[in-house]
Structure 1
Amino acid sequence: MRLMIAPMEGVVDHTMRTLLTSVSKVDRCVTEFVRVNDQLLPPRVFHRYCPELKQGGVTPSGVPVFVQILGGDPQVVAENAARAAELGAAGIDLNFGCPAKTVNNSNGGSILLRNPEHVAAIASAARAAVPSSVPVTVKTRLGYEDGALFEDIVRGIGETGADELTVHARTKRHGYRPPAYWEEIAIARELLDIPVIANGEIWSPDDARRCREVSGCEDLMLGRGALCRPDLPDLIRADDMAEDRAPLRWEEVLLLVQTYLEATIDAYDAHCVGNPIKQWLVYLRSYYPQAAILFENIKRLRDPEALRAQLAAEVKAAPAVGRSVA
């Protein structure tokens, strides 16, 4: 079983990838999408989205990072995929799943699923442009309005030479509303000889177990679930091995929040450092109610030193943790 971290736009940047891969064993991360329209982007753009390119294409924990590319022009996507590979990307991932209106209105993301032939043309051009030693993977949804074209989409991707397919088990119309239709992913498993990775609504080890049973997929991609529970990959692995593993306690997660603050202070301008922390707390409070209280305590703070002081006070007031998680 392999477990990947999903490319969540505006959330899973290099600082979050560093944190999550330091907490749990992860097999792959994927960057936020690099949007390409009509030109070959300069290296600095790829380095901004994927600073790991300067570290051999891996996180500090050694987890490979694939560069995700989003665009509707096969030639432009191919040229930028080749550049990312030249810069040292561990792999290239193609985005056909983003449901955002601004993206769809500019010929990118899930709107392309209305034309399976076009999806295949983009994937084929990218695969041809990237050295065979560099994997090219595809991430898609079940379709745009509905799943009527899903089999055509899957068959087309299978003919491009793509190395793997990740399926987010909803259509664009579904957005991110539950449930995820894991049973539909089984169609792709039956049609393809390449690995198929299941994605969507995996919040717990039990969800992971049921998703694998229903979809027939061995490998999973985790999104919001891993943000709500940063040790979710390890919990899933332990469950797969029938081992008992206690989830991280809030006191341990609080230390991770403190560590994450320091990472954002190092990476971003001072006026921005509070935003990632607050955003993460919104996810964490789904599983840890204490995160909602911490959010209220820091939501009006902007100064990095004020945030540092508040988090230090929270850590000091919390019960001592029994093991290191940083």
Structure 2
Amino acid sequence: MSRLILAPMEGLADDILRDVLTRAGGYDWCVTEFVRVSTTVLPPSAFTRVSPELTRASRTRAGTPVRVQLLGSDPDLLAANAAQVARLKPAGIDLNFGCPAPLVNRKGGGAALLEEPGLLHQIAMAVRAAVPEEIPVTAKMRLGIRDTHRALDCARALEQGGVQELVVHARTKADGYRPPARWEWVAAIRGAVRLPVIANGEVWTLADYRAIRAATGCDDVMLGRGAVADPLLARRIRAGGAADPAADWPILKEMIADFWTQVQQKVLPTQSPGRLKQWLGMMRRAHPQAEQLFKALRPLRTAQEVSPVLTRHFATSGG
């Protein structure tokens, strides 16, 4: 059966959003934002801060397994940190070879390593050797930095290094998040390796999901920004049904209210509105009611201003 995975999304999909989205249903596992490994072996608190789920058997409240993602370029240091994470019994450890952020890439992390298949192999081999066999080690890669000429070599290097599953984001670093995604290259990578390949990139709808599976030949798909824009996308894919704004909004209102409650408990009153507006700003793509709510909240700056507006909007927006 096809698996659906919730993508790691730096600065967006933290433990709160993972919790809310996975409770909507449909996901087989999810991946944290990356933990940057640069100079030392991090304390356990560095990992539980990014993944509080580690204190709950590495599961969200819905029971969805959570894999912890590491980002770095030093094989020995990544291996030592992977061993540290492994003591916390994560559902899996994922290696980031896809982040396109300039700051990350300047420091030799994420997609910047895709010019060096040999280094990818060393990292994968060192991490796999440092982690107990029962903990999966996976990786996520883009197609390259400016072009795709080393994509197949990178995938083979990771496979030979011991990575058990590979997520391929069908863009280069230079592509950023601009459409279209290069699904044909995911198909080429799938044909070049024997390990399971998971397709990722530009899946916003049920139709996109069907199209990426057809184009890549992959059974499994990772959902990223599309899952944030349409929080019911995974559930919709499982059911095989199209979006129904009238039926969806009452469910989404409950998800937004839950998110708002949790965000207020986590961040300062001046920071929480930004988190809510960030999510609603993306949700506008799929849900017109989110556009109305976003416009109502856009000028507000504090939690004390947002809460009553949110309450009034929910009371008058149906459902």
TM range (shorter): over 0.9
Q: Distance in 1 between matches of 2:170 and 2:302?
A: 40
1:246-281 deviation per Cα after TM superposition (whole angstroms, max 9, x unaligned): 465334322321221001112222222112101001
1:71 maps onto 2:72 in alignment: yes
Alignment CA distance shift 1:143-1:158 (3 Å): same
1:200-224 deviation per Cα after TM superposition (whole angstroms, max 9, x unaligned): 0001111111100110100000001
TM-score of the superposition, structure 2-length normalised?
0.96
Q: Distance in 2 between matches of 1:16 and 1:65?
A: 13
Shift of 1:149: 0.5
Contact 2:10-2:33 within 8 A present in 1 as well:
yes
Letter in 2 for 1:228: A
Partner of 1:148: 149
Partner of 2:274: 275
Hey, which bits of structure 1, 4+ residues long, moved more than 6 A?
Answer: none
Shift of 1:244: 7.2
Contact 2:27-2:234 within 8 A present in 1 as well:
yes
| Paired residue secondary structure (2:141) | strand
Shift of 1:80: 0.9
Letter in 2 for 1:161: G
Alignment CA distance shift 1:61-1:214 (3 Å): same
Partner of 2:176: 175
1:194 maps onto 2:195 in alignment: yes
Percent identity reads: 44
Within 5 Å, give how 1:101-120 maps onto structure 2. 101-120=102-121
| Paired residue secondary structure (1:93) | strand
Give the stretch that moved more between structures: 295-304 or 137-146.
295-304
Give the stretch that moved more between structures: 112-121 or 243-252.
243-252
Give the stretch that moved more between structures: 116-125 or 185-194.
185-194
Letter in 2 for 1:229: D
Shift of 1:43: 1.0
1:107-156 deviation per Cα after TM superposition (whole angstroms, max 9, x unaligned): 10101001111111111111111111000000000111100001111111
Alignment CA distance shift 1:244-1:98 (3 Å): closer
Letter in 1 for 2:284: R
Letter in 1 for 2:42: L
Q: Distance in 1 between matches of 2:242 and 2:150?
A: 42
Partner of 2:309: 310
Within 5 Å, give how 1:174-323 maps onto structure 2. 174-239=175-240, 246=244, 248-319=247-318, 321=319
Partner of 1:324: none
Partner of 2:132: 131
Q: Distance in 2 between matches of 1:289 and 1:159?
A: 47
Letter in 2 for 1:98: C
| Paired residue secondary structure (1:271) | coil
Shift of 1:296: 2.1
Letter in 1 for 2:170: A
Give the stretch that moved more between structures: 263-272 or 98-107.
263-272
TM-score of the superposition, structure 1-length normalised?
0.94
Alignment CA distance shift 1:181-1:244 (3 Å): closer
Q: Distance in 2 between matches of 1:249 and 1:3?
A: 20
Shift of 1:306: 2.4
Q: Distance in 2 between matches of 1:259 and 1:307?
A: 14
Q: Distance in 1 between matches of 2:46 and 2:299?
A: 32
Alignment CA distance shift 1:8-1:245 (3 Å): closer
Contact 2:144-2:172 within 8 A present in 1 as well:
yes
Partner of 1:40: 41
Q: Distance in 2 between matches of 1:274 and 1:83?
A: 35
Contact 1:24-1:232 within 8 A present in 2 as well:
no
**Root mean square deviation of aligned Cα:** 1.4
| Paired residue secondary structure (2:222) | strand
| Paired residue secondary structure (1:201) | coil
Letter in 2 for 1:264: V
Contact 1:24-1:230 within 8 A present in 2 as well:
no
Q: Distance in 1 between matches of 2:150 and 2:261?
A: 46
Contact 2:15-2:52 within 8 A present in 1 as well:
yes
Q: Distance in 2 between matches of 1:212 and 1:95?
A: 23
| Paired residue secondary structure (1:197) | strand
1:10 maps onto 2:8 in alignment: no
Letter in 2 for 1:266: Q
Shift of 1:293: 2.4
Shift of 1:64: 0.5
Shift of 1:298: 1.3
